[in-house]
Structure 1
Amino acid sequence: MTQALAKGSIVAVIGAGAMGCGIAQVAAAAGHQVRLFDTRQDAAAKAVAEIGKTYGKLVEKGRMGATEADLARERLHAVGSLGDVAGASLVVEAIVENLDVKRKLFMELEEIVGDDCILATNTSSISVTAIAAPLRHPQRLVGMHFFNPVPLMALVEVISGLATDKGVADVVFATAESWGKHPAHAKSTPGFIVNRVARPYYAEALRLLSERAADPATLDAVMRDCGGFRMGPFELMDLIGHDVNFAVTQSVFNAYFGDPRFTPSIIQQELLNAGFLGRKAGRGFFHYGENAQKAEPQVEPPQPYPSKVVLCVAPEDVGAAESIARRLQAAGVEVERQQASATALHCNGAAIYLTDGRTATERAAADWHADTVLYDLLLDPATAKRVALTRADQCGTAAWQSAVGLFQAAGFAVTRLDDVPGMAVMRTVAMLANEAADAVNQGVCSASAVDVAMQKGVNYPRGPLAWADTVGLAQIVAVLSNLAATYGEDRYRVSPLLRRKVAGNSAGARFHA
């Protein structure tokens, strides 16, 4: 088993901005002698003072012992020149995102540190291979990508360039673990893990908005309350800043030579054109400020509860419909169970299915059943407080109202989406899983690494591949295939690894045992 850097060894951090300060704070608290350097006059000294105050606040909150804080302060030092990091075992760079500047720094460091010193870059977007290329010993340079704020965010992407020695990456991985982090190994490819796999969370939301599936507040509520995401995509983009979010999307799109899966959105481009950058500008998708009114999601008005519901269950299918049926029974609604070729809830002529990537209108036509209603994917059907429904264009008002009343009887607030293929949560989860599967298929990372990265790096409620296992890989492939057929775009092409797993074991295919 690879050993982490020994406690007491010197860790140098170059750059005293938010990321560098966070890295220095964590490294000193973990027992390392830390040397913090910044080219700006007094920046490192001021940062050390602020970190010391932060330790004090942690003591006040009971998150750190007083003696522990004092020792961490003693281990933390500002240095006045780059030469002062000569004895470091690890140097972590957290400076401007510029390839030439980073290369220059590491070439200077090679003349200062020992041959056994590990060089790490905290880059979020630049190729680790490219940064290491001009070095005499490129094998000792590795990506050590922290997430902001460093003390709170658990993920560290450990990124290997083409020249990175495996032993070096393993030491950095073990060191990050010893610092209380959740590291994930990744290959140096555009976006690494998180910035690549997360693109569909924003892209599908923007596509849904462009197709007028619902307004931003409603779509955010669906993703939070139905999908279990901590923040909806629109409020999250407003928080990140549209200049930043758009730039990352554009960078990944260009780096993959225009792959349509990463196509930037005209809607977001227009926000940039208007200067509506999000919270920091007072306006993005939403308005901010003292007098700004909070946008409320759409909710269907109350409808009569049904007295009886028929649950048709396909063989070996125990999923969301069963959980909904149990909620109905707990509310006093009679539920009759029958075997059928497709799982559905039936109520007063309405046939209610989980979305499979087709529109309700298309499914109604295929089934010769006009009164077709679809519901969106739920993270936990047993406890969710909201459900998203859509109706076929052919669906009658009485059938729609019966479907709404059914879910209201089960304790759901019902939100209506326009009849877009795949709805909101299902198509987003399918696309996240598809991108994650491609990352695994292309050797960027392992299945466990991508799930750790997305949960610990961006707080997803479930790793995308674990979620795909829960939904069923065959269902994910069906959703993607139906999206591709509807749109006729390569954007929704199915990952070869997903197809392979389903073909090899259609009933029990999984990414995780």
Structure 2
Amino acid sequence: MAALDNDALVAVIGAGAMGAGIAQVAAQAGHPVRLYDTRPGAAEQAIEGIDRLLGRQVEKGKLAPDSRSVIRDRLQPVDTLDALADAHLVIEAIVEQLPVKQDLLRRLEGLCATDCILASNTSSLSITSLAAGLKHPERVIGMHFFNPAPLMALVEVVSGLATAPSLAATLYDTARAWGKQPVHARSTPGFIVNRVARPFYAESLRLLQEGAADCATLDALLRDAGGFRMGAFELTDLIGHDVNYAVTCSVFEAFYGDFRFQPSLVQKELVDAGRLGRKTGQGFYSYTEGTERPEPATLTSQTSVKRCTVEGDLGALQPLVERLRANGVGVTERAGTGLLRVGDATLALSDGRLASQRAREDGLRNLVLLDLALDYASAPRLAISHGAECSAVALDQAVALLARAGLSACQVADLPGLVVLRTVAMLANEAADAVLQGVATPGDIDLAMRAGVNYPRGPLAWADQLGIGYTLNVLDNLQRSYGEERYRPSLLLRRTHAEGGRLHG
């Protein structure tokens, strides 16, 4: 199917930040756009705001002055819903309330031509439910932009039970023509991004609740070791805890209380206190003027380390060996089970077990576990943990070895999976379940997580890179440690491992 022609009239209902952003995207792509809002003057104000944004692009040399006026002229505020009757595509971006959206779609069905596409920008409501009760539910589809719409690349094209496949193809091609990166998704709770991203927030919230480390340290580890743009606490402060908590509750309820999506009492307390993040001046961090952001807790060592021994294949940790060599550390290699030894210390990549448990089960003295990093060759920071039996001398030697490689070590409590590893494993697990349940293809899921929330790597490709067997083992160990369904591995992971295949291509 081809994209909508540039002369096709696009109508946007709702002149808030999202609606205005969508209107700008459509106008910049060449469409005449009509913007409607029930609030008097809101559409005019939104278009004035768009014009100011275009003006800033002109000032920065990113847009020609003539183009600004052309785009501005394509935007028309209207005062009545009737003025949208001849639209080819209507995108609603109004309040996230099912009855309100259903009533609007019923009115649009009676007003617009039968070939007009009725799209919703909903982030969480069922497209099937939105279309229920219409004479032609096949006309209704989700077109979920991400905020701010002019800047964020991803668009989830969401099909309900009755949505015509040709409609999904048309909007997919249209979004691509608008310069976006579209993905197809089936209408299930959270679609792709708001479902697969839940563990990113949930694992940090749980680690905080269990005393793993403070917010600044956990955030720094996700950024510096995991390669994520922001840590979970600074990101939820930016989103707003009322918004993020509401989405989590919505997904949790929609999945009939599946504990994979259980909301956090820590976040609920912030919401109850009105500490919603940046917009209220206080969330996990304070945003009052003059307040300094706390620094991550980092271990230091005065010990001099010159040599280490590598026993066997270190797996994902292997690039650290070359980094040590490049920084003047002598490395002796011998057969073994994937361990790194320095002085009295034994270092190993976490496999999801507690350090104390692994030390006892594997007969390892002074065991220090290392967390996952996106790239051990360049990461500036790494989480470590150890059991009660590890001596202070051995811990200091492990910290000194990492420092020789240019890695700052942040100690976290002896909890299974540390920080980045358990987060990535849970993201991959949720993504695998979404594939298993036919929500989207592996390629679209990985693209959605990169383009929609700026993940450094798609979670399915990340699991492939780590090894499906290793990822599965980490999840099994997490589940055994907690005894909860929250960490149950996806059947797709087990099947892919049994078949010796890959999740993504």
Partners in 1 of 2:377 and 2:487 — Cα distance?
A: 30
Determine if the alignment matches structure 1 residue 123 to structure 2 residue 118: no
Corresponding residue number in structure 2 for 1:378: 373
Deviation at 1:512, TM superposition (A): 2.4
Corresponding residue number in structure 1 for 2:48: 49
Deviation at 1:328, TM superposition (A): 1.2
* TM-score of the two chains, using structure 2 as the length reference: 0.98
Corresponding residue number in structure 1 for 2:354: 359
Q: How does 1:99-118 map to 2 (within 5 A)?
A: 99-118=98-117
Q: Which one-letter code corresponds to 1:71 in the other structure?
A: V
Q: How does 1:125-274 map to 2 (within 5 A)?
A: 125-274=124-273
Moved more, 323-332 or 488-497: 323-332
Q: Secondary structure at the match of 1:319?
A: helix
Match of residue 478, structure 2, among 452, 475, 483: 483
Q: How does 1:465-504 map to 2 (within 5 A)?
A: 465-504=460-499
Partners in 1 of 2:460 and 2:123 — Cα distance?
A: 23
Contact 1:226 1:425 in 2 (8 A): yes
Partners in 2 of 1:353 and 1:318 — Cα distance?
A: 10
Deviation at 1:326, TM superposition (A): 1.1
Corresponding residue number in structure 2 for 1:319: 316
Partners in 2 of 1:46 and 1:395 — Cα distance?
A: 63
Deviation at 1:68, TM superposition (A): 2.1
Partners in 2 of 1:318 and 1:419 — Cα distance?
A: 22
Q: Secondary structure at the match of 1:500?
A: helix
Corresponding residue number in structure 1 for 2:80: 81
Contact 2:223 2:230 in 1 (8 A): yes
Deviations 1:445-492 (A, max 9, x none): 110111111111111111111111111111110000000001100000
Contact 1:221 1:297 in 2 (8 A): yes
Q: Secondary structure at the match of 1:123?
A: coil
Contact 1:305 1:408 in 2 (8 A): no
Q: Secondary structure at the match of 2:189?
A: coil
Deviations 1:138-177 (A, max 9, x none): 0011000011111011111110000000100110111011
Corresponding residue number in structure 2 for 1:510: 502
Determine if the alignment matches structure 1 residue 309 to structure 2 residue 304: no
Q: Which one-letter code corresponds to 2:121 in the other structure?
A: N
Match of residue 333, structure 2, among 333, 337, 356: 337
Q: Secondary structure at the match of 2:409?
A: strand
Partners in 1 of 2:354 and 2:154 — Cα distance?
A: 37
Determine if the alignment matches structure 1 residue 446 to structure 2 residue 435: no
Corresponding residue number in structure 2 for 1:20: 19
Deviation at 1:318, TM superposition (A): 4.9
Q: Secondary structure at the match of 1:309?
A: strand
Partners in 2 of 1:22 and 1:243 — Cα distance?
A: 22
Deviation at 1:47, TM superposition (A): 1.6
Deviations 1:322-352 (A, max 9, x none): 2111111111111011222x21211113211
Contact 2:236 2:244 in 1 (8 A): yes
Partners in 1 of 2:483 and 2:304 — Cα distance?
A: 40
Deviations 1:190-222 (A, max 9, x none): 111111111101111111111111011110111
Partners in 1 of 2:209 and 2:42 — Cα distance?
A: 45
Q: Which one-letter code corresponds to 2:342 in the other structure?
A: C
Partners in 2 of 1:52 and 1:288 — Cα distance?
A: 30
Partners in 2 of 1:33 and 1:270 — Cα distance?
A: 46
Partners in 2 of 1:144 and 1:305 — Cα distance?
A: 58
Partners in 1 of 2:413 and 2:213 — Cα distance?
A: 7
Q: How does 1:383-394 map to 2 (within 5 A)?
A: 383-394=378-389
Corresponding residue number in structure 1 for 2:408: 413
Partners in 2 of 1:305 and 1:472 — Cα distance?
A: 35
Match of residue 463, structure 1, among 458, 467, 472: 458
* TM-score of the two chains, using structure 1 as the length reference: 0.97
List alignment gaps of at least 5 residues for structure 2.
none
Partners in 1 of 2:304 and 2:460 — Cα distance?
A: 37
Moved more, 243-252 or 478-487: 243-252
Partners in 1 of 2:136 and 2:51 — Cα distance?
A: 35
Deviation at 1:66, TM superposition (A): 2.1
Deviation at 1:496, TM superposition (A): 0.3
Partners in 1 of 2:5 and 2:225 — Cα distance?
A: 45
Deviations 1:33-74 (A, max 9, x none): 111111111211222222122222211112222222222112
Moved more, 460-469 or 43-52: 43-52
Q: Which one-letter code corresponds to 1:479 in the other structure?
A: V
Q: Secondary structure at the match of 2:251?
A: helix
Across the aligned residues of Structure 1 and Structure 2, the Cα RMSD in angstroms comes to 1.1
Determine if the alignment matches structure 1 residue 350 to structure 2 residue 345: yes
Determine if the alignment matches structure 1 residue 434 to structure 2 residue 426: no
Partners in 1 of 2:291 and 2:402 — Cα distance?
A: 33
Corresponding residue number in structure 1 for 2:298: 299
Partners in 2 of 1:47 and 1:287 — Cα distance?
A: 31
Q: Which one-letter code corresponds to 2:262 in the other structure?
A: T
Q: Which one-letter code corresponds to 1:103 in the other structure?
A: Q
Q: Secondary structure at the match of 1:219?
A: helix
Q: Which one-letter code corresponds to 2:471 in the other structure?
A: I
Partners in 2 of 1:107 and 1:283 — Cα distance?
A: 41
Deviation at 1:313, TM superposition (A): 2.1
Contact 2:300 2:400 in 1 (8 A): no
> In percent, how many aligned pairs have the same letter?
53
Q: Which one-letter code corresponds to 1:490 in the other structure?
A: E
Determine if the alignment matches structure 1 residue 68 to structure 2 residue 67: yes
Q: Which one-letter code corresponds to 1:184 in the other structure?
A: V
Partners in 2 of 1:49 and 1:301 — Cα distance?
A: 54
Deviations 1:17-47 (A, max 9, x none): 1111000001001010111111111211222
Q: Secondary structure at the match of 2:111?
A: coil
Moved more, 461-470 or 425-434: 461-470
Partners in 1 of 2:442 and 2:436 — Cα distance?
A: 9
Contact 1:27 1:179 in 2 (8 A): yes
Corresponding residue number in structure 2 for 1:94: 93
Deviations 1:266-300 (A, max 9, x none): 11122222222222222211122113232111000
